Amino acid sequence: PIFMLKIAVLVSGGGTNLQAIIDEIEKGTVTNTEIAAVISNNKNAYALERARQHNIPAVCVSPKDYGTREEFNKELLKKIQSFDVDLVVLAGCLVVIPKIMVEAYPNRIINIHPSLIPSFCGTGYYGLKVHEAALERGVKVTGATVHFVDDGTDTGPIILQKAVEIKQGDTPEILQQRVMKEAEWKIMPQAIDLIANGKIAVRDGKVVLVDKLEDC
């Protein structure tokens, strides 16, 4: 290919979404994409181990190693920039993305959120808390969303969403697993493939499919 999309994947935990991306690249269902680095804020994240097993550079930038949040934010941005990537992928990354990063990568950062935005999203809604809230409200359908990151929390242009059924007897843990398997592990790789192949653009704050004929 003439163009390879270079991505940095930012993680905090188990890294099952990272694994889905690696698998789809290896299978060839995600094309024109190369993972240049996996970056974690937590040195014990199993996601780092997954990266190493596939010979992907894996590094930790921890807020614990810096005096202030501002310093950490700067170092995180510097680290990402050192890999010269086209896209930053937040795959279970629990770090609040600073403004300086959004400004450095406008519509070049994507995030996976485990609900159908605008439900159960924003400050305080992450990981299991999202599924606890969905069960507490008694919704019958939930799902996952991949979106571009802007300077709000879970407010950027939506790329893909997939619905998942809630079942009688679900616990937050059971629901989290179903949402990952049926939605997250599918739409995250799909979104990367769309971007790598120039199939989407942001217009008026919304994601649209690019019609190649428009360019003529």
By CB under 6 A, name the binding residues for ligand GAR. Answer: 11, 13-17, 47, 91-92, 112-114, 126-127, 130, 180, 184
- Shortest approach of ligand GAR to residue 203 CB, angstroms? 26
3-state secondary structure of 103: helix
Least distance from C-beta 192 to ligand GAR, angstroms? Answer: 14
Angle CA(49)–CA(55)–CA(58) in degrees, nearest 5?
50
Burial class (CB in 10 A: 0-12, 13-18, 19+), 140: exposed
Selecting among 54, 113, 131, 147, the annotated active-site residue is 113
The residue among 89 and 196 lying less far from ligand GAR, judged by its C-beta, is 89
Residue whose CB is nearest to ligand GAR in the complex, by number: 92
Q: Is 54 a catalytic site residue? A: no
Minimal distance in Å, beta carbon 61 to ligand GAR? 17
Q: Where are the strands (E) in the chain, listed by range?
A: 5-11, 33-40, 58-60, 87-90, 109-113, 141-148, 158-165, 200-203, 206-209
Q: Which is nearer to ligand GAR, 80 or 95 (CB)?
A: 95
Residues with catalytic roles:
113
